[in-house]
Amino acid sequence: MDFIKMIIFILGGARSGKSEFALKLAESLNAKNFYYIATAQALDEEMKERIKKHKEKRNKKWQTVEEPFKIEEVLKKLNRPGNVILIDCLTLWITNLMMFEKDLKKEFEKFLMILKKYKGKKDVWLICISNEVGLGVIPETKTGRKFRDITGEFHQKLAQISDENYFIIAGCPIKLTSFFYNI
């Protein structure tokens, strides 16, 4: 069984530079293979254009795996020494799960259990990108508030098991502490 050497969590607002930072960080690692797990779905023209722009930012060393739902299954397959696995982004993954009425708590637990199970000392790096959802206005709808709340709770759990956490503002990464206390 192979293990994830390091889990890196990158959080920030929309268009803050999260993906660009993650790509540069990933390419600085001593890896053989680079995998980009894309959770976005091209459901309209705007999303098609966003996906196209994201693809253009990646060089040829990146292999793209499109998976809007079962990212834990992709992690199991790609978890091999020398791999960097970048998930972009968890917020869209959560949106996909909500749109198709999946059991969010069950999906989160599966994802986090995979990370805990495989976390160890081998040369595999996992980089997770997500949008910060708690700094804006209070969502107007019940669904919007539910999304914000469950996403925020998920982010807290992911940050606790991550080795490094970054917050990106205007393209500038801020390294966050990984220290969590029990109350």
Active site residues: 54
Measured between alpha carbons, how far is 132 from 15 in angstroms, rounded to an integer?
11
Measured between alpha carbons, how far is 57 from 147 in angstroms, rounded to an integer?
29
Helical ranges in the chain per DSSP H: 18-27, 45-57, 71-78, 90-99, 104-118, 142-161
The owner of tokens 């990370």 is 115
**3-state DSSP assignment of residue 102:** coil
